[in-house]
Each structure stands twice: as structure tokens, then as C-alpha cells.
Amino acid sequence: MKLDFDNADECFRRDVSQWLSDNLSGEFECIRGRGGPGDEHMFIEERKAWERKLYQGGWTCIGWPKEYGGKAASIVQQVIFNEEYARAGGPGRIGHIGETLIGPTLIAYGSEQQKRRYLAGILTGTEFWCQGYSEPNAGSDLANVHTKAKFDDETGQWLISGQKVWTSLAHESHYCFVVARTDPKSVGQKGLGFFLVNMEQPEVDVRPIAQMTSTSEFNEVFFDDAVCSSDDLVGQCGDGWTIAMSLLGFERGISTLGQQMLFTNEFNDIVNAARANGSADDPIIRQRISDAYIGLKIMRYNSMRMLSDSNVDGDLSKEAMCYKLYWASWHRNLGKLAMDVLGPEAEILLDSPYQLTQLQSMYLFSRSDTIYGGTNQIQRNIIAERALGMPKEPRG
């Protein structure tokens, strides 16, 4: 891995830092450091306005090619942007699923019509997306999709029926990319399609899932013959698995840098709390803070190594396969560390009836890290079977 910061990159860093200093203030001061795990429900409208502000400043989708409105920023520059964004206390990005997942997927696999229709809304921060992968009874096994897509010969449209679950920010999204089975006789990875579904139709029902953080950023999504234009099938029937896996490559790639931005802010909050209440003098706490910092750096450099040798055609690198397993366990342990640093204060609510501090919310939310997006058990299977070439797990 080679990651040099030359004069041009340092100039880029100064531009990012100056713009954030000038603009993350005034009406946006309230969203500094907000919108992380367990805090995703806060300041929704202000964060949507922030997405538009970023676009006006030319800071959305900076890694996209210039022909689609991006800056064609290098990986080094994207790292710099995320570092400065974290340093400035930039809020969690509501538009990150569009910018880092479906946007690059459409650029790679979408038709020209799909690119013209959808990329502009993502770029300008005016249209938001959610991810329709997980299903009840399928766990983390994406190949066990039961949601069906049936082509209606009379209308020339696809009709989507089924249920997705754990769909983050579905209630704030205009569109959902959905993996559905186009061939009812198919099983596993075959016979799948990748669809772009309008969420603003009566055939789509979004039901919030009450979480122990008292919020509902996850949802169940029910599709009851939801209409999807024939032009909104990405690729061909049967390409769904390939496209879905490529999208996950983007998720484990550039978007990991944005995720580490949030982790850095949480880590800094814990260090500040430890200094303030004296727990930083505890040698055990100090050691755990050191371990957490080392883990944060391992994730950063592993991500950059992965991105330096990225292969975004769906054949994920071995480093990418390991990443989810690593960060999920690390972040869960960070939540435990936060509670131990706070001590008895961790048990006290900020206000009645159920208002948590950011660290309390982070702790509760982090309990789900080793489950959503692929459980640790599934991730170990993926590493064993796809990265190490070991025999597949027997399945009934």
C-alpha cells in the first residue's frame, strides 16, 4: 500500500477544512457530531438541508466521475475528505446509501436512462435511498430471497411482492434497491433481479421497528404488487446476484471510510469523558482505550490497503471480507468501554421518560453490530468459503 500526501493533496485538505469551518456553523451548528448509530433519528430535516449545502459546495459524491457530477477524487483525497469531515464534527450522512452504494452501482451497471434519472437526485441531496436486501427467515443469507418479481405482460411493468426487514431509513427514503426472485422455480443465487423501486406508492408499506434505544431507524417494508417500471430493472433478469455482490463491494470499500469517521468521533467522546471523570487514571481503562485506538488505526489502514487494490467487479478482496467481522466486534466492545468509562452515570437517563445520551444510545445500538449486515457467523463462513477456499458448510 502506498498512501502519500503530496502538495496537491494537502491543498485539497485545506480546501475541505476551510469549507467545513465556514459552513458547519449557524443553522447547522446543532448537527455537529449528530446522526451516528442510535442517533440516526435526530435532526432529520437539518441533516437533509446539510446534504443540499454539501452539494452547493461541491462536496457530495466526490469520488464519482466528473461526467456524473463528481470530482473524480482519488482514494487519497476521499480519505482526506473523511478525515477532515470527522475532525470538523460533520453529521451522519442521510444520503450515504445513495452516494456510496447505489450511485456507484448504477454508474457501473445502470443503463444511460437510469443514470440520467437517478444520479442527479443523489448528487444534489434531494432524493434518498434505502437497501432492500434482508428478509425474514433468511437471516443474513441473501441467496435465500423470497421476495418475488413478476412481469405483467399487459402493463409492461414488474410487480414486486414480499417483505424486507431491518431497512435503515426506509421511512425517509424515496427509493429502494430491491433484490427479488424473477424465476419462481429458481433457488439460491440464480433467478434474481435487481430493481429500483419507488417507495412513494400505496403498494409499499413501511412499518417502524421499535428498538431498545427508543428510536425506530430500522423498518419492516412490505411490497404488495408494488409497481416497478421495466426500465428500472438493473442489468438483465438473473443478474441480481452479481450486481448485489458488487454493491456490497462498494459498501465494504469507500463507504467504510465514512463509517470510520463516526467511529473516530465516538472514540474521542469516550476519551473526553474518561478525562473529565477521572477514569482515565484507571490503568485497566487506559489499556482498553489504547486497545480501542489501535483497533481504529488497524481498520483505517486495512481499508486503505483494501482500496489501494480494490476490485469492484463483485470479486471482493480478502481484506474486504474480513472487514465486517472486525469492525462489528470492535464497535460492540467500544460500546462496553463507553459504559465502563461512565461508571454509575451510565445508568442515569438524561431526561424522562426515556432520553438517552449519545454514548448510551451508541452502546445499545452497538449490540446489533454483530447481527445486521451479515452476522459474525455468516461472515466467518464467507471468509472460509470464498477467501480461503474451504469446503462449503453443509446445508439442508
User: Do residues 265 and 308 share a domain?
Assistant: yes
User: Do residues 265 and 217 share a domain?
Assistant: no
User: Do residues 74 and 17 share a domain?
Assistant: yes
Question: How many domains is the chain partitioned into structurally?
Answer: 3
**206 inside domain:** yes
What are the Cα distances from residue 373, in Å, to 2, 199, 324, 369?
30, 21, 8, 8
DSSP-assigned states of every residue in 9-61: HHHHHHHHHHHHHHHSSGGGGGGTT-SSTT-TTTTHHHHHHHHHHHHHTT-SS
Which of 44, 78, 93 terminates a domain? The answer is 93
Question: Which ranges in the chain belong to alpha helices (H)?
Answer: 7-23, 44-56, 75-87, 96-97, 103-109, 112-123, 240-251, 254-277, 283-308, 318-342, 358-366, 376-382
Q: Which residue has the cell 448510551?
A: 360
**Residue whose C-alpha is closest to residue 249's, from 186, 319, 200, 190:** 319
Query: In the predicted model, what is the mean pLDDT of residues 120-128?
Result: 98
User: Do residues 380 and 256 share a domain?
Assistant: yes
251 flagged as catalytic: yes
**118 inside domain:** no
**106 inside domain:** no
Neighbours of 242 (CB within 10 A): 17
User: Do residues 83 and 153 share a domain?
Assistant: no
Q: Are 161 and 145 in contact (CB under 8 A)?
A: no
**395 inside domain:** no
Taking 70 as the threshold, does the pLDDT of residue 300 lie above it?
A: yes
Taking 70 as the threshold, does the pLDDT of residue 3 lie above it?
A: no
pLDDT digits (tens, 9 = 90+) for 262-272: 888 899 999 99
Which residue in the list 135, 217, 251, 319 is annotated as catalytic? 251
Q: Rounded distance, CA 169 to CA 153, Å?
A: 33
User: Do residues 277 and 366 share a domain?
Assistant: yes
Q: What is the pLDDT of residue 113?
A: 97
Q: Are 316 and 249 in contact (CB under 8 A)?
A: yes
Q: pLDDT > 70: what percent of the chain?
A: 92
Q: What is the pLDDT of residue 313?
A: 45
User: Do residues 295 and 364 share a domain?
Assistant: yes
**123 inside domain:** no
Q: What is the pLDDT of residue 312?
A: 44
Q: 262 or 306, which is more confident? A: 262
User: Do residues 204 and 171 share a domain?
Assistant: yes
Which three cell numbers, joined as nine digits, stand for 47?
441533516
User: Do residues 257 and 377 share a domain?
Assistant: yes
Query: In the predicted model, what is the mean pLDDT of residues 296-318?
Result: 69
**346 inside domain:** yes
What are the Cα distances from residue 26, in Å, to 19, 29, 39, 50, 261?
14, 5, 21, 12, 22
Q: What is the pLDDT of residue 4?
A: 66
pLDDT digits (tens, 9 = 90+) for 30-67: 999 888 777 888 899 999 999 999 999 999 999 999 99
Q: E strand or H helix at 160, and its extent?
A: strand 157-164
User: 205 lies in which domain range?
Assistant: 129-238
Radius of gyration from C-alpha coordinates of the chain? 21
What are the Cα distances from residue 63, in Å, to 99, 100, 116, 260?
9, 9, 18, 17
Which of 76, 93, 110 terminates a domain? The answer is 93
What are the Cα distances from residue 149, in Å, to 81, 101, 387?
40, 22, 32
Q: 379 or 102, which is more confident? A: 102
**376 inside domain:** yes
Flag the least confident range among 52-56, 108-112, 194-198, 318-322.
Answer: 318-322
Q: What is the pLDDT of residue 257?
A: 67
pLDDT digits (tens, 9 = 90+) for 130-160: 999 989 887 667 788 999 999 999 999 999 9
Q: What is the pLDDT of residue 395?
A: 66
Report the CATH number that the domain containing residue 156 is assigned in CATH: 2.40.110.10
User: Do residues 259 and 367 share a domain?
Assistant: yes
Report the CATH number that the domain containing residue 25 is assigned in CATH: 1.10.540
User: Do residues 64 and 17 share a domain?
Assistant: yes
Q: What is the pLDDT of residue 259?
A: 76
Q: 189 or 141, which is more confident? A: 189
Which three cell numbers, joined as nine digits, stand for 360?
448510551
**149 inside domain:** yes
Taking 90 as the threshold, does the pLDDT of residue 281 lie above it?
A: yes
DSSP-assigned states of every residue in 88-119: TTPPP-TTHHIIIIIHHHHHHH--HHHHHHHH
Q: What is the pLDDT of residue 309?
A: 65
- pLDDT category at 87 given cuts 50, 70, 90 is confident
Q: Rounded distance, CA 5 to CA 78, Å?
A: 12
Q: What is the pLDDT of residue 41?
A: 82
Report the CATH number that the domain containing residue 312 is assigned in CATH: 1.20.140.10
Query: In the predicted model, what is the mean pLDDT of residues 246-262?
Result: 72
Q: What is the pLDDT of residue 72?
A: 95
Average pLDDT of every residue of the chain = 89
Q: Which residue has the cell 502506498?
A: 2
Q: What is the pLDDT of residue 314?
A: 44
User: Do residues 194 and 289 share a domain?
Assistant: no
